[in-house]
Structure 1
Amino acid sequence: MSGFAETWLALREPADQRARDPGLMRRALEWVRDAQGTATLVDLGCGAGATLAAFDEASPANAQVCHWRLIDDDPALLGAAMERASGLGAKAEPCRVDLSDVADIPLDGARLVTASALFDLASRDFVAALVDRLAKEGTALYAVLNYDGSTTFSPAHSLDGIVVAGFNRHQLRPKGLGSGASLGPAAARALAEALQARGYDVMLADSPWQLEGRDRELAIAHIEGVAAAVAELGVLDAAELDDWRKMRIANCADGRATVGHLDLLAIPG
């Protein structure tokens, strides 16, 4: 599983980095720099360290005023993230933690909690429990690349709408972050509402993937994943779905796809 996760994260990282909203990134960096002394940043589901790398690219001097607490349940990914941090000269510590239990997440002293492509996997009760802890700690949240349910392709196929709707339905299946259904495409706005209710100043910004020829491998992996998810639901004839999959893959080199995401920055009021 670790090998698959590392491959997928490496495939998506260039598209993720292009998609991040630069305005919210700047605001997050300002919040970090305003700390008295060294700021502790907690990265939930850190993967191979893409968020740390994005902060370093946006502001290399940031490494001198930050201490990263890298959290993941995958030891291989944690090792990759720590190796990356070392290469960037960033101060970091690895924390192997199962995120499903919010009470176990080490948030003490954190100035900012970060997460990338995480909250669409979470349930409403996970969000409520995490927001409660953030509010008690007075910690800001920078959560990016939350899938918002919108996907468009060019050239078009007659089944695009049905396939995307089926995929969005599949996204609601429980993923282990909290009990019950995952928030899926509703995650960013549900998170924003929960934070606003606790007095946070919440900002949302679009951060869509714009996939074209240079992203062919990622586009193929995305299409295969969407098709596999829809196949599990049985909402389309298998042959029709396979025709859609083959047409989409055949157009990855010359076509385009836009996959909608939302970035969120929440600052304590």
Structure 2
Amino acid sequence: MLHDWNDALTRLALEGDPPTGRDGHPVSLRSSTGSLADIGADDLAGAGLVTASALLDVLTFDEVSAIVRACVEVGTPALFGLSVTGRIELDPPDARDRVIEAAFNAHQQRSEQGRGLLGPTGASVARNLFETAGWQVASADTFWRLGPREPELLDEWFTGWVGAAVEQDPALRADRASYVARRELQASRGELFAVVHHLDVLASPR
């Protein structure tokens, strides 16, 4: 079952031949569309696992609460991966890194169309809600390690990171050009490395 708020995306995901399981048989796929704040136990009926990647940090408290409540009601384990924690490590360091990081994190927790996003707190909120429900919860720090081996990915991540920070705090525009130029030069020489911290959460009934 694929669930998303965007019907066009779910239709796209269902295109082509269905995936196959270990036994070689096709895996049945179906989709549903709607707000995660409205998801309930009926939507998870028959599921053996609820899983998502890079999701919790772009949800609201009500949406995460609804997901946790639905999982608990049907007793379905859940695995959420790659939720950002807001921590970034850049090598070589620059004094401006922390300023950009703070602005980016504020952007992640902005209010968007009336939705107050959890941003870097999303994974910890889900973990706490599952624990409050009496579930067994394990969490692990996971990382993106970006560098010369993935120059395009490093560039795409860095551009988006700085862009979101400047959108959140326009005062950063004054120093943006010199900061970006320095980082781009380091990247072109294979000298720039980034570690993007995430938190994975696994929850299951006791």
Is the TM-score greater than 0.5? yes
> Which structure 1 segments of 5+ residues have no match?
1-68
Residue aligning to 1:145: 82
Structure 2 segments unaligned to the other structure (5+ residues)? none
Paired residues in the alignment total: 199
What amino acid does structure 2 have at the position aligned with 1:133? A
SS at match of 1:106: helix
Q: Between Structure 1 and Structure 2, whose CA radius of gyration is higher? A: 2
Q: Would you say the 8 A contact 1:70–1:93 is kept in 2?
A: yes
Distance 1:117 1:71, change over 3 A: same
Identity of aligned residues (%): 29
2:19 alignment counterpart = 86
Q: Does 1:102 align with 2:38?
A: yes
1:71 aligns with 2:3: yes
Mapped partners of 2:130, 2:199: distance in 1: 15
Query: Contact conserved, 1:123 with 1:174, CA < 8 A, in 2?
Result: no
Q: Does 1:202 align with 2:137?
A: yes
Candidates 121, 127, 132, aligned match of 1:192: 127
Within 5 A, what are the aligned runs for 1:1-269?
A: 69-72=1-4, 73-76=6-9, 78-80=11-13, 82-83=15-16, 85-86=18-19, 90-103=26-39, 106-175=43-112, 180-234=115-169, 236-252=171-187, 253-269=190-206
Q: Structure 1 residue 175: deviation in Å?
A: 4.9
Distance 1:78 1:191 in 2: 28
- State the one-letter code of the partner of 2:70: R
Query: 1:218 and 1:203 mapped to 2: Cα distance?
Result: 29
C-alpha separation between the residues in 1 aligned to 2:35 and 2:58?
11
For residue 248 of structure 1, report the CA deviation from its aligned partner. 2.1
- The answer to whether the Cα contact below 8 Å between 1:82 and 1:92 also exists between their aligned partners in 2 is no
Higher relative contact order, structure no. (Cα contacts within 8 Å, ≥ 6 residues apart):
2
Residues in 2 aligned to 1:74 and 1:216: alpha-carbon distance in whole angstroms: 33
Which has more helix, going by share of residues?
1
* Contact 2:127 2:137 (C-alpha < 8 Å) held by counterparts: yes
* Displacement of 1:187: 1.0
Instruction: Report the RMSD for the aligned CA atoms in angstroms.
Output: 2.3
| Deviating more after overlay: 243-252 vs 224-233 | 243-252
Could you tell me which amino acid in structure 1 is paired with residue 78 of structure 2? L
- 1:229-252 CA-partner distances (Å, limit 9, x unpaired): 111123534130222222223323
8 Å Cα contact 1:71-1:78 kept in structure 2:
no
CA distance in 2, matches of 1:187, 1:132: 15
Q: Give the Å deviation of 1:82.
A: 4.9
Matched AA of 1:265: L
Normalising by structure 1, we get a TM-score of 0.67
Deviating 4+ runs (over 6 angstroms): none
Please list the CA deviations of residues 163-211 of structure 1 after superposition, one character each: whole Å capped at 9, or x if unmatched.
00110011001357xx642111111111100001111100000111001
Q: Deviations over 1:53-96 (max 9, x none)?
A: xxxxxxxxxxxxxxxx2233253564346537437755031314
1:30-54, CA deviations, whole angstroms, 9 ceiling, x for partnerless residues?
xxxxxxxxxxxxxxxxxxxxxxxxx
The offset of 1:134, in angstroms, is 1.0
Cα distance between partner residues in 2 of 1:82 and 1:175: 30
Q: For residue 83 of structure 1, give the secondary structure of its aligned residue in structure 2.
A: coil
Task: Give the Cα separation in 2 of the matches to 1:85 and 1:218.
Answer: 28
8 Å Cα contact 1:78-1:96 kept in structure 2: no
